[in-house]
């Protein structure tokens, strides 16, 4: 592979990463948590599947049941002595 092609690939990657970081920063300004994000590549690099199948896997694993996440948030808030809003008046 020539140096020119390698540099073009690298620049393309850098541009893409910059756009992703700008999007994440925008979402942070709207109070979204963006420090742990997944992409289909995380699955397709390991498994022989399409991007659509990888998205479906991620959706089933990450998007199916948030109750465990909310339970973990409750536990962590309690450990930090942060009260739930409905418990503040007690």
Per domain, the residue ranges of the chain are 1-32, 38-90
Q: What is the pLDDT of residue 6?
A: 86
Kindly report, residue by residue over 30-87, the tens digit of the pLDDT.
Answer: 999 998 889 999 999 999 999 999 999 998 888 767 778 888 889 999 999 999 888 6
What pLDDT shows up at residue 5?
Answer: 74
CA distances from 23 to 17, 26, 30, 37 (A): 10, 5, 11, 12
Tokens matching residue 4: 């020119």
- Residue pair 57/42 in contact (Cβ under 8 Å)? The answer is no
- Phi and psi torsions of 12, nearest 5°: -60, -45
The predicted model scores a pTM of: 0.62
User: pLDDT band for position 1 (50/70/90)?
Assistant: low
Burial track 8-37 (b if 16+ CB lie within 10 A, e otherwise): eeeeeeeeeeeeeeeeeeeeeeeeeeeeee
């Amino acid at each position: 592979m020539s140096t020119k092609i390698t540099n073009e690939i690298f620049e393309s990657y850098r541009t893409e990463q910059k756009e992703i970081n700008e999007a994440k920063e925008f979402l942070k300004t709207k109070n979204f948590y963006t420090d742990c994000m997944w992409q289909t590549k995380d699955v397709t690099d390991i498994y022989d599947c399409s991007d659509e199948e990888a998205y479906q896997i991620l959706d089933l694993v990450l998007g199916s049941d948030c109750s465990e996440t909310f339970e973990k948030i409750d536990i962590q808030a309690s450990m930090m002595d942060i009260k739930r809003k409905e418990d503040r008046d007690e």
